[in-house]
Structure 1
């Protein structure tokens, strides 16, 4: 039997220890890499942890809208490529079909107005209930739904907004106008279209490199985070540590170009999301992009009416309220308006 020298024995022991550690670490790494994380925020109502360094969700779209909508027969100018195009992405819950139908029968019924194509799309998630078949049936009738395979609850509203942003930047032109809207507002589309024209002229007059962000419901300045955790708008200091937010648009409605939207989306890939989508997108991301407060603009005229979630109203009362606000807008429409929905 060969006897090892003391130094050889020590060296052999060290080598064995190193090998054992390498095997252990490799098993640990393999185990970690084998557990895939979901690209979406949890469907739970509480806010889960989000990777602060990356926000690169892979969106699987179950249902997508039809951009043509076959409007040419009713609206001959609909496909004229020289005209501006306005796309409204409405955040909607799968269960909110009555709200979608109210919108379809009022302000979203307009398809063309004073030289601009006008199109609405409802963005919704994939709920864990039996509404899937109903959504497919609804889509077969209306062709205006964008459904992604992700959460549909309010706490994950930013994820839903991002889904619409991803689809818009992938399918629309850089000069097209993107509008984010809630499903409890009535849009004055004639004033909206004219405001877009006005700010196009303002952009040219001021040599702005991009189209501004139009706050259609309100511009918030010096707004303080809600630190009471029972609040619907609660934000902890871990999520956002500063004493006030950058100026931002209320999320009920805001508009910008697809060009600006794509840049905000790119900034968002390396920025921790907040569940307050309006603060995050038009405040935090805008600020990081470098788009100044002077390009966060409002119109001299009210562009929309907020109906506060139809609080205390049943379906019939909600419809009556929407029609009451829509009627004067409808009566103000010019002959250069076309309906094909």
Structure 2
């Protein structure tokens, strides 16, 4: 993320996803466009350079207790994170926000203990420490997608990825997938 904020313009979007997530790019563009439209006031433009929400493409959680079970690979020891409730956050998988938002959040990285739940740490804890309220992390808009937005692949990942990318790319070849949002 440090590289991103030093090298990518603020009005660009930043996405991160696990290596077993397959994105339907057409539907993702629809989701981002819908989010931008919801962010801008009537008869005004919303620049991506403005503080832009974290869009939880895979899973959004309003408030979860952290797991304290040491057998759970996603557990968080109470010495690392004492509160009994996590702030609103994206739960792994895939999320997107603006580079300007990442810049705000990354400034708090050196002041916050690192935890293995990187999506929770970044979109929840560091976001909160940056002064961004719970409304600055949202689920991907529930709109009428033609098919799914994202697919989580658990088994035979190489073949499953190939299968879904082939399926999802059918529509992409019909038009230019590059979209500039304003």
Cα deviation code 1:127-164 (max 9, x no counterpart) = xxxxxxxxxxxxxxxxxxxxxxxxxxxxxxxxxxxxxx
1:279 aligned partner: 120
Cα deviation code 1:41-99 (max 9, x no counterpart) = xxxxxxxxxxxxxxxxxxxxxxxxxxxxxxxxxxxxxxxxxxxxxxxxxxxxxxxxxxx
Where do 5+ consecutive residues of structure 1 fail to align? 1-164
Q: In 1, distance between residues paired with 2:115 and 2:137?
A: 20
Deviation at 1:292, TM superposition (A): 2.2
**Would you say how many aligned residue pairs link Structure 1 and Structure 2?**
167
- C-alpha contact 1:199 1:211 (8 A) present in aligned 2: no
2:150 aligned partner: 304
Q: In the alignment, does 2:167 pair up with 1:328?
A: yes
Q: In 2, distance between residues paired with 1:190 and 1:199?
A: 14
Q: In 2, distance between residues paired with 1:236 and 1:295?
A: 26
Q: In the alignment, does 2:20 pair up with 1:170?
A: no
Q: In 1, distance between residues paired with 2:161 and 2:60?
A: 23
1:295 aligned partner: 136
Q: In 1, distance between residues paired with 2:116 and 2:135?
A: 25
1:251 aligned partner: 92
Deviation at 1:285, TM superposition (A): 0.9
How much is the aligned-residue C-alpha RMSD, in angstroms? Answer: 2.0
Deviation at 1:320, TM superposition (A): 2.3
Q: In 2, distance between residues paired with 1:213 and 1:225?
A: 20
2:41 aligned partner: 205
The alignment partner of 1:178 has SS state of strand
In terms of Rg, which structure is larger?
1
2:69 aligned partner: 228
1:119 aligned partner: none
Higher relative contact order, chain-length normalized (CA < 8 Å, sep 6+): 2
Q: In the alignment, does 2:111 pair up with 1:270?
A: yes
Deviation at 1:197, TM superposition (A): 1.9
- C-alpha contact 1:217 1:253 (8 A) present in aligned 2: yes
The structure that is helix-richer by fraction is 1
Q: In 2, distance between residues paired with 1:244 and 1:179?
A: 26
Q: In 2, distance between residues paired with 1:293 and 1:231?
A: 26
Task: State TM-score, norm by structure 2.
Answer: 0.83
The alignment partner of 2:111 has SS state of coil
Task: State TM-score, norm by structure 1.
Answer: 0.46
Q: In 2, distance between residues paired with 1:337 and 1:235?
A: 39
The 5-angstrom pairing of residues 59-138 of structure 1 reads none
The alignment partner of 2:87 has SS state of coil
Structure 1 runs, 4 residues or longer, greater than 6 Å off: none
